[in-house]
Amino acid sequence: SPLKAFVDAPSIAIVVGGATAAALVSFPIKSLFGVAKVVKNAFFAKAADPTRLIAQMVGFAEIARRDGILSLENALADVKDPFIISGIQMAVDGTDPELIEQIMNSELDALQDRHADGKALFDNIGKYSPAFGMIGTLIGLVIMLQNMDDPSTIGPAMAVALLTTFYGAVIANLVALPIADKLDLRSRQEVMLKSIIIRGVMAIQSGDNPRIVEQKLKTFLPHRLRVSGEAAEAA
């Protein structure tokens, strides 16, 4: 089959093994295990809907304004997001607003650092894979030049030598770099969601009117989502 011409185990080993070894040198082992979880969440965890999150935070603001901020403790029973629970609980406990914002922003910074490590890992794999592909090609050419007694072997040997360059390009541009871009996108989405929560908690603690809370939080949304949300409310 024609596809068999593109399969060569030593070429794959050179590219994958070389890029993996370079990643192991560049990153601590502990961070590599953390990256696996980040990648899993990026591809399999369902992203929260920002409009629903805003509605949830506005609901908390309405409860706090109607029944007092202490009543929010009961409202947390059905909440699953630990970041929301932590922020609202600190507000209920009467923690200083500056301290709440500092703690929540520190958690957000740690999240961004973890995501940045994941993106950097796959960026590096994307950067190193073509280089190891070229190294494999050079190795193949050296072996081919050492065995030029039989001209009939030159073509197949050259094909195998070039396969490592092919593998390097495929791994970089079809696997590593797209994963890095995906991680970057999901990171920006999650940072936006966490920022909505932080802004919402601070507004709730300061006793803002629920309408004002909603307007503050909608500034995080792209224009099309703001318009669709306003249209839904009008209906």
The reported pTM is 0.82
Q: Give the pLDDT score at 235.
A: 43
Q: What is the pLDDT of residue 230?
A: 55
Mean pLDDT of successive 10-residue stretches along the chain, which has 235 residues: 78 91 85 75 80 95 93 90 95 94 96 88 93 91 82 79 92 93 92 96 94 94 69 48
CA distance linking residue 114 with residue 184, whole number of Å: 11
What tokens appear for 51 in the block? 């409009």
Q: How many whole angstroms separate alpha carbon 160 and alpha carbon 11? A: 8
User: What is the structure's pLDDT at 39?
Assistant: 77
pLDDT at 143: 83
Contact residues for 176 (Cβ-Cβ < 8 A; gap 6+): 19, 122, 123, 125, 126, 129
Q: Which letter, b or e, does each residue of 65-92 get, where b requires 16 or more Cβ atoms within 10 Å of its Cβ? A: eeeebeebeebeeeeebebbebbbbbbb
Q: Residue 231's pLDDT is what?
A: 46
Residue with tokens 């190891």: 132
Give the pLDDT of residue 227. Answer: 63
pLDDT at 9 (0 to 100) = 87
